[in-house]
Amino acid sequence: MIRQHFQFRSTIATILADRQEHVDAARAALIDARQRVERYVARDPFFRTSFEPCTPDSDDPIIIRMADASQEAGVGPMAAVAGAIAWAGVEAMQDEGARFAVIDNGGDIAMLTEREIRIGVFAGLSPFSGRCAFVMPPSDGILGCCTSSATVGPSISLGVADAVCVFSKNVALADAWATAICNEVRIEDTRVFHRLDGSGVQGVFVIAGTWTTRWGILPELTRARVDERLISSGDGY
């Protein structure tokens, strides 16, 4: 397996693949996706700064994905940028024939896997941090596992959770909902979960200090020792 670090401006990611040509496809697609977002927000700065959904003046698929995801989750479209960019990278790998393709864009992960893999959970100072992992079974399509935190990383959060992990086949949607849930969930207060009924979200796992909760269908969670040196610092834009 190839593990390659990728950085283009503030997009910092890790690419996993079996073949170098798949890595090359991912790198080209990540750069292209980042540049397309940059070009759009240069002429529509409100799209970049809004904390609420907004309608873009664009037919670019990445911009549309971000806007649609933010509309469902009730957050600004940039809440979906890391997931949307990672998704574009894995799609490019798939187009090159990859059956194993993983891009971790700062905890916002797009994956296509023919084998079982594990995704470690980093949750800052929580005692659960670095001690558990999701066991991901082989998949027949791309899946997103996106994480938001109020205590880790550069992203703005209005909540208290150390980690909110969201699973969806729509990677941009997983990213947007991770932000939305992290903004709203409180210890012993999960009313935000009611908004997930009928959404494209498959499952949610929340860590806040010593408190955890879950919603929907999640992969198996197992004990693990996470190597923090492998964590990607992500897309702070």
What is the rounded CA–CA span in Å between residue 11 and residue 107? 12
When pLDDT is averaged across residues 33-44 and rounded to a whole number, the result is 97
> Half-sphere exposure of 125 toward its Cβ, with a 13 Å CA cutoff?
3
Yes or no: say if 136 and 104 are a contact pair by the CB < 8 Å rule: no
Over the chain, what is the mean pLDDT? 93
When pLDDT is averaged across residues 99-126 and rounded to a whole number, the result is 95
pLDDT at site 150: 87
DSSP state at residue 152: S
Q: Are strands 117-120 and 2-8 parallel, antiparallel or unpaired?
A: unpaired
Residue with structure tokens 């904390």?
A: 51
**What domains lie within the chain, and their CATH numbers?**
2-225 (3.10.520.10)
What is the rounded CA–CA span in Å between residue 170 and residue 7? 24
Give the global pTM.
0.93
DSSP state at residue 60: -
Can you read off the two tokens belonging to residue 22? 């798949």
State yes or no: pLDDT of 155 exceeds 70. Answer: no
pLDDT band at 224 (very low <50, low <70, confident <90, very high): confident
When pLDDT is averaged across residues 195-200 and rounded to a whole number, the result is 95
Q: Which residue has the higher pLDDT, 160 or 123?
A: 123
Classify 182 as helix, strand or coil: helix
DSSP state at residue 200: S
Question: Which residues contact residue 42 at a Cβ distance below 8 angstroms, ignoring those fewer than 6 apart?
Answer: none
What is the rounded CA–CA span in Å between residue 23 and residue 187? 40
Yes or no: say if 161 and 189 are a contact pair by the CB < 8 Å rule: no
State yes or no: pLDDT of 202 exceeds 80. Answer: yes
Is residue 123 packed enough to be buried (19+ CB in 10 Å), middle (13-18) or exposed (0-12)? buried
Can you read off the two tokens belonging to residue 222? 């197992």
pLDDT tens digit sequence for 46-64: 999 999 999 999 999 999 9
